[in-house]
Amino acid sequence: MNLPANEKPDVHAAFYAAPLPMFGLVEASRRDGKQEGKGLYKRLEVTELYNRLSGMPGWDPKQLRITFAARASGSGGNIRVGRVTLSMTLR
């Protein structure tokens, strides 16, 4: 979340939320008879990450950016993200 413009995604970075496994994506996205494929659904708990990032200098909650990155170059292919919903537990 909110990866700086010139920084490359890294699983050890302060901006990293979690992995999004793509196992079964092709099968879940395949058209079956008359129905379109539904793809995959994944829920990530990012409340702690959001709270930590919101304390950083220059944080603007109106400019939340989500970055998706392949784990290895040349992997993945053509993947489309249909929707991202952010829901948080407020304390």
- Whole-angstrom distance, CA of residue 82 vs CA of residue 39: 9
Q: Where are the domains of the chain?
A: 1-75
φ/ψ (deg, to 5) at 65: -120, 135
Provide the mean pLDDT of the chain. Answer: 78
User: What are 84's two structure tokens?
Assistant: 């991202």
- In this predicted model, what pLDDT tens digit does every residue of 10-51 receive, in sequence order? 877 888 888 777 777 767 777 777 777 677 777 788 888 888
What pTM was estimated for this model as a whole? 0.65
DSSP bridge partners of 35: 32
